[in-house]
Structure 1
């Protein structure tokens, strides 16, 4: 019979998120992780394997609690174009409420980790693809409802919106203010057509 984990896994994973998010993947040691998670190094290895495996779990927990939650909530509660607008507005608000300018763990990982680790790069790319697919679904739905300019290419616009989102999150790390972030987003939103 397998032994039950002797620690609070939710709390431990949240601590690991904070550790990777504040230090970055490369600068975070297993010792840092064990200390922040409140577990021994052996327990960390037994529960999660190596640092890469733990990082993949951290990315999943982060995505579930941020992007996936936001996508599901907005897709269920907003008309398509408004879901995109609300998604980007929430990201701006979240960026501005981050006193440490940590940015987005997924975007940071796309820049810092993906170029050096193909497997983790594929993991990060899959999460970013979920965001792009959300944008595409919303644009397609708005196209079908006749709410977007004629000839709007849903796939191309979804890629553009993802690029805008990533650029905005990188700018937020430099302490960019609301006016700057909204100016980055505004031309992309204009491609969706005027709000009703």
Structure 2
């Protein structure tokens, strides 16, 4: 008879995500994870296969929570400029509030790529989803003459995603919303 799992795997993934986000993959040992999660090594391996499996689950959890919230925020904006400003400022705020840790996915890309192909796919999927959502928003705004149509919506969306990624790296160096927020206004001039 198989033993039943004695811990909440969703809660464990969420807590592991926080630890990986704070320390990174390489600096987080299995021992760190088991202590932080309050589970035994055997339980970790039984539930997730290994440290890498738990890391994948943590990245997916981040994708389903923080990254999904970013996409929802685009849909809630009154106009394109306001929605994009809100998205960028909120991402800065989250990165800074979490102790200047930046973004887990950007951190994963800078730490694990190019060798780690599963991480590349996860990060690429999120970036593509963000870029597609932005391109749709920008296309519709240009059709309403709300923003300039001088740039192709996909190119402009790619720029904004690239800018955001750089901003999230900068938030680790300068974890100060007031210092980073003015940069958003500069990026928004591409909509004029």
TM-score by length of 1: 0.88
Over 3 Å counting, the alpha-carbon distance change for 1:96 and 1:18 in structure 2 is: closer
Which residue number corresponds to residue 160 of structure 2?
161
Which residue number corresponds to residue 47 of structure 2?
47
Q: State the alpha-carbon separation in 1 of the partners of residues 4 and 129 from structure 2.
A: 33
Deviation for aligned residue 1:53: 1.7
Deviation for aligned residue 1:23: 1.4
1:137 to 2:136 alignment: yes
Over 3 Å counting, the alpha-carbon distance change for 1:126 and 1:183 in structure 2 is: same
CA RMSD of superposed structures (Å): 1.9
**SS state at 1:116 partner:** coil
Contact 2:100–2:175 (CA<8 Å) still a contact in 1?
no
Which residue number corresponds to residue 8 of structure 1?
8
Instruction: Out of 67-76 and 168-177, give the one that drifted further.
Output: 67-76
Which residue number corresponds to residue 88 of structure 2?
88
Deviation for aligned residue 1:74: 3.5
TM-score by length of 2: 0.90
Which residue number corresponds to residue 66 of structure 1?
66
Ranges in structure 1 where 5+ consecutive residues have no aligned partner: none
Q: State the alpha-carbon separation in 2 of the partners of residues 37 and 148 from structure 1.
A: 48
